[in-house]
Structure 1
Amino acid sequence: MPSGQEGPWFPQVNRRARPQVRLVCIGAAGTGASQFAAWSAALPESIEVWPVLLPGRERRIREEPLRRIDRIADELTAELLGRVEPGGPHWALFGHSFGALVGFEVARRLLDAADAVVDGLIACSMPPPHLQADRLPVASDGDAELLGWARAAGGVDEVLLDDPRFARWLAGDLRATLACRRSYQVDRLVPLDCPVLVAAGAGDPEVTDDDLEQWRSCTNADFERVTVGHGHFFLRSHQQALLELIADRLTRWRSARSSST
C-alpha cells in the first residue's frame, strides 16, 4: 500500500512519529478526503489527521454510495477498531454537515468498544441527530432541486456546477446523502460519554441557534458551542481559525482525560 494510504477509507493519512490523538475527519455531502489534505501540516505533531473517504467519492467514485448512516458508521467503525493500539493514540471525531451525523454515530460505537478511547466529537453546521426527521433541506431528490440546494449553500465552484459530468455525479451523491438522512431515525437519543463541541458559521441557512443548542442533549460530558466565520462552509473560508480551535480543544480534552485517570 502506498505511503499515506490506510486502505480505501483513509487514502491520505500523514503519519506522525508519536501521535497522542487521531482526528477522524468526515466531510459534507459532495466532498471527499482531499478537503482535509492541508490540515496535517497546520496542526501540532501530537494530532494525526485521518480524512475519511466514503464510497462513491473521489478515487472511490466507481463504488456505489451507501444510503444509510448506520451502515456507513458500522463500516467506518470497524475500520477504526482494526487500528486500535492498546495504550496508543486516542480518537477524536470531526464532522461537517452530513459528516457530523456520521461522526456522532461512529463516536457512539467507539465508546461502546472495550479498547477504543474517544476524547471528543466536533460537530459542525448540522441540526442534531434527534431533529433530522423535520429538518431535511429539500423536499425532492430531483437533479434540479438538489443542484439548486448545492448552489445556494455556496460550497461548490460555479464552474464545476456548469460541467454536466460533475453535476450528474454531484446530484447522485446529494441524492444518496438525502436518502441517508431520510432513513436516519433516532427514537431514543443516547448521549455520548465524551465532550461535544459544536461549531457553525454565522448566518448559516442550514442551522438555527436552537439547532446548535440542541446538541447539548447529545453528551453527558462537557458541551460547548462556538461561531467561526460565516456561512455553511466556514471550514474553507476560515480554515486557520477552525484549526486553531481544534488544536486547542483536542489538547484540553486530552489533558482533562489524563488528569482524571
Structure 2
Amino acid sequence: MTDWLLTPKPNPDSSVRLVCLPYAGGTAATYIRWADRLPADVELIAVQPPGRSSHIHVPPCQNMNQMVRGIHKALQPYLDGKPFSILGHSLGARVAFELVKRLQRSGEALPRRLYVSASRAPHLATLRNPTSTLPDEMFLEKMRQMGGMPESILADPEQVALYLPSLRADFRIVDTYRTRVTQVPVPIHCIYSREDEHIDPDDALAWAAYSGKGFASQEVAGGHFYINDRSDFWDGFASTLDRHN
C-alpha cells in the first residue's frame, strides 16, 4: 500500500494492471473484492483518496487538480512499462479522464483502455443542481436518495461527522469541475444503465467524442451503483480486459 493506493494481491508476474477509481464518497473497498474475480494475470490497484476509510482523518481533496495530482504521484512506481487500464465509476470516471490527460501531457505511458462507468460526458457534468452547498439535512437526504452510502453511516451522527467533510469535498469537485470536449489517444469503453436514475444514456454515450482511438459501449441493468451488485456488469467488463497483446 502507498498513501493513495491499495493492491490487495500484489503480483509482480501479472501481464496487466487495472487501476480503479471510486465514486464520490466511495472507497477502495468497492474494488478490493474484485481481486478474487479477476484473471490471475491481472493485478488490481484500487485508489483510496484521503478523507475516508483508513485515511478518514486526512483532509480530503478540494478540487479536481488536487485529486488528479495525488493519484498521479502515487502511481509513479507502477508506470514501469507494464500495460495497464483505468476504470472510474461516476465521479471516478471524470477523475480517470483527467488523469489520462495528465499522463499525456507529461509524456508518460497511457492506459490501454479507459473505462468510464455511470458517468455523463465531462462537458455535460455541470448540468445539474449543486449538491455540495446544501444544508446538512438536505445533503444527507440526497445521499440517501442516491444510495451510495450505507444507512448505518447516514443514521449515526458520529459516523456522519467523520464522513461529511469528504462527502462534501467530493461533491464540490462534482459541482465545480469544468472542461471542454478533448480527445485522448486511448480507447474509451463506456458502461451505463438505462435504469440509472442519475445518468441519461445519451449523456453517457456522449463520451464517444473524447476518444481519438475508438469507442465501445456496454449497457447493463441496475441503478447508479450497479458495480456493487450486478454480475452482468462484471461479466461484460471482464471480457474486455486487454491482457495478452
AA aligned to 1:77 is H
Q: 2:100 aligns with which of 107, 110, 114?
A: 107
Q: Which residue of 1 aligns with 2:16?
A: 21
Q: Which residue of 2 aligns with 1:159?
A: 152
Shift in Å, 1:157: 2.5
Q: Which residue of 1 aligns with 2:43?
A: 48
Q: 1:185 aligns with which of 178, 182, 186?
A: 178
Verify: 1:90 aligned to 2:83, yes or no. yes
Matching of residues 105-254 of structure 1 within 5 Å: 105-136=98-129, 138=131, 140-186=133-179, 188-238=180-230, 240-251=231-242, 254=243
Once residues 181 and 50 of structure 1 are traced to their aligned partners in structure 2, the CA distance between those partners, rounded to angstroms, is 23
Where does the alignment leave 5 or more consecutive residues of structure 1 unmatched?
A: none
How many residues matched? 245
Label 1:245 to 1:149 Cα distance change in 2 as closer, same or farther (>3 A): same
AA aligned to 1:169 is L
Maintained 8 Å contact 1:91/1:116? no
Once residues 77 and 237 of structure 1 are traced to their aligned partners in structure 2, the CA distance between those partners, rounded to angstroms, is 29
DSSP 3-state at the match of 1:133: coil
Maintained 8 Å contact 1:202/1:227? yes
Verify: 1:30 aligned to 2:25, yes or no. yes
Once residues 71 and 79 of structure 1 are traced to their aligned partners in structure 2, the CA distance between those partners, rounded to angstroms, is 12
Shift in Å, 1:126: 1.6
Once residues 178 and 158 of structure 1 are traced to their aligned partners in structure 2, the CA distance between those partners, rounded to angstroms, is 19
Once residues 139 and 8 of structure 1 are traced to their aligned partners in structure 2, the CA distance between those partners, rounded to angstroms, is 26
With structure 2 as the length reference, what TM-score do the two structures score?
A: 0.92
Maintained 8 Å contact 1:147/1:170? no
Q: Which residue of 2 aligns with 1:61?
A: 56
When the two chains are superposed, the root-mean-square deviation of aligned CA atoms in Å is 1.9
Q: 1:79 aligns with which of 70, 74, 88?
A: 74
AA aligned to 1:76 is I
Once residues 184 and 227 of structure 1 are traced to their aligned partners in structure 2, the CA distance between those partners, rounded to angstroms, is 26
Maintained 8 Å contact 1:10/1:51? yes
AA aligned to 1:95 is G
Shift in Å, 1:21: 1.7
Shift in Å, 1:203: 1.6
AA aligned to 1:72 is M
Identity of aligned residues (%): 26
DSSP 3-state at the match of 2:79: coil
